[in-house]
Amino acid sequence: MQRKVPGSPAPYTMIDLFAGAGGLSEGLRESGFTSLYANEVVQRYSETFKANHPEVFVDNRDVRRVDAAEVREQLGLTRGELSLVAGGPPCQGFSVNAPVRSNDDYRNHLFREFLRFVDEFMPAAVLIENVPGLVSFERGATLSAIIQALEELGYTADVRILYAPLYGVPQTRWRTIILGFRNGNPSRAFPQPTHIAPMRVNFTSTFRGQNIVAMPDGSDLIPYTSVRDAIGDLPPLINGELGEPLKGYAAPPQNPYQERLRSQSMGVRNHEAARLGQINLERLRHIPPGGNWTNIPIELLPAGMKRAHRSDHTKRYGRSLPEGLSSTILTKCDPHWGAYFHYSQDRIFTVREAARIQSFPDHYIFQGSRIEQYEQVGNAVPPMLAAAVGAGIREVIASEELSVAV
């Protein structure tokens, strides 16, 4: 386990709980944080985290069985020395998409394990990320309980819902972000949007009488990153093509997004085309860019969809629009779930294309089977969004340190 070196400069240090494959840690690393410890119970996810963050101690135990004091002592930290405790308790129980949203779901209480680590480490800042459905779950009672618990530990806490395209991520993804500081105003840490993008709020967006959705403000914002901006330089593939594990790029970087994600990369990995069956290939040939299942002749539709209204399920069997935003990347690029057909190639997105749309850098390699890789990508926090949040957290911590020094 990595320990603090006596006499060394104090970096912005962090630990990551419910770490997944490391999207949150990757973004926070990009914003200047040094991760010392991560906890992730799913073996394959923890393997991907370790492969991409080899300097971090990755703990694969159930967090409920981990002694937080023992972890702090092994890291050589005193209480109050750590900069940040970050993480995302499992979100299925909170999600507006969950079949049953019940307070009896044990996953809804795992945030208390997170708070147990906060109590032990007493970091300068706390970051909890989750789905927008957290705001409405139990009519806001769970969110209120989290904020109250942070306040009881001595933190000033606040919450915002952030839209990933406003921070350069090319997909329609929303995340709820809770920030707490021992010293400092959390509202100052939430990042200001840098991009302009089409958006539609279809969830509860108010908490304690205030709108908590971060909105773009100003005329100096740049256009959103499109699907083609994100993946247009990756090598073309035909349906079912695997090719070499390491592939060359199809073109030089065509925009700043590609330049950023190609930094430190020797080529393209995790870029293999899953094989679509003949019936899906037939359906796909009828779908133009930006189109969906309504473009498919009725005789080729699945039986259940033949009875659907034309205004329903508008993302199913969708072909991405190159100039538009991607559907939210989920745990598999199943055409029955969303618009995951490539805009110009007759196949679904590869793992690398999904990772690009999530804003993972190309040097970030996913372990396991292709199914497991899709799951890791889809469950991750977009690193670029995490980096924007991390920069805001650092700014507030630095300003408080400066004011104390003065």
CATH code of residue 103: 3.40.50.150
Dihedral sign computed on CA atoms, order 328, 333, 335, 339: positive
User: Is 97 domain-assigned?
Assistant: yes
Q: Which residues have C-beta within 8 Å of that of residue 389, sequence separation ≥ 6?
A: 27, 28, 31, 127, 162, 177, 179, 189, 190, 191
Query: Confidence band (pLDDT; 50, 70, 90) for 142?
Result: confident
- Percentage with pLDDT > 90 across the chain: 79
Catalytic residue selected from 91, 273, 284, 386: 91
328 belongs to a structural domain: no
User: Model pTM greater than 0.85?
Assistant: yes
Residue 171 in domain: yes
Whether 93 shows a pLDDT value over 50: the answer reads no
| 164 falls within a domain | yes
pLDDT tens, position by position, 242-281? 999 999 999 999 999 999 999 999 999 999 999 999 999 9
Summarize pLDDT for 33-90 with one digit per residue, the tens: 999 999 999 999 999 999 999 999 999 999 999 999 999 999 999 999 999 999 997 6
In a domain, 354, yes or no: no
Number of domains in the chain: 1
* pLDDT score recorded for residue 96: 42
Q: What are phi and psi of 390, to 5 degrees?
A: -60, -40
Region 210-228: what's the mean pLDDT? 93
Average pLDDT, the chain: 91
Q: Please give the helix or strand (H or E) that residue 85 lies within, else none.
A: strand 84-87
Q: Could you tell me if residue 331 is inside a domain?
A: no
Asked if the structure places residue 7 within a domain, the reply is: no
**How far is it between the farthest Cα atoms of the chain?**
74
Active site residue 91: yes
Contact, 31 vs 14, CB < 8 A?
A: no
E strand or H helix that includes residue 175: strand 174-181
**Cα separation values, 235 from 246, 272, 343, 350, 353, Å:** 11, 10, 14, 11, 10
Chain segment 278-318, per-residue pLDDT in tens: 999 999 999 999 999 999 999 999 888 888 888 777 789 99
* Domain assignment present for 105: yes
Beta bridge mates, 206: 211
The range of the structural domain enclosing residue 83 comes to: 12-221+383-405
Among 165, 170, 177, 108, which residue's Cα sits nearest to residue 142?
A: 108
The pLDDT confidence band at residue 3, using thresholds 50, 70 and 90, is: low
